[in-house]
Amino acid sequence: MDAEAVKLLAAGICMGLGAIGPALGEGMIGARAMEAMSRNPKIADKIVPNMLVAMAVTESTGIYSLVISLILIFAI
C-alpha cells in the first residue's frame, strides 16, 4: 500500500473508533438526565446545566480524535 493510503486509512479508523465513545456516552448521559427529569420535574433546572457540562466533557474525546486524525493526514 502507498504511504498516503495508509495515512488516510489510519485517520479514518481513528475518527471512526474515536466517535463511538462520545456517541455512546452522550446518549447515556441524555437518557439518564431525561429519566431523572421525568421522575422529578422540579429539579430539571439543576439537571440540565450539569448534563450539558457532562456532554461537553464527553465530546472532548471526540475532538481529540479529530485532532489526531488531522495530524495524521496533514503533519505526518
Tell me the pLDDT band of 76, cut-offs 50, 70 and 90.
confident
- pTM score of the predicted model: 0.80
**Domain limits, the chain:** 22-71
1 has pLDDT over 90: no
User: What are 27's three cell numbers?
Assistant: 446518549
Angstrom distance (rounded) from CA 69 to CA 76: 10
For the stretch 18-71, pLDDT in tens is 999 999 999 999 999 999 999 999 999 999 999 999 999 999 999 999 999 999
> Are residues 14 and 69 in contact, defined by beta-carbon separation less than 8 angstroms?
yes
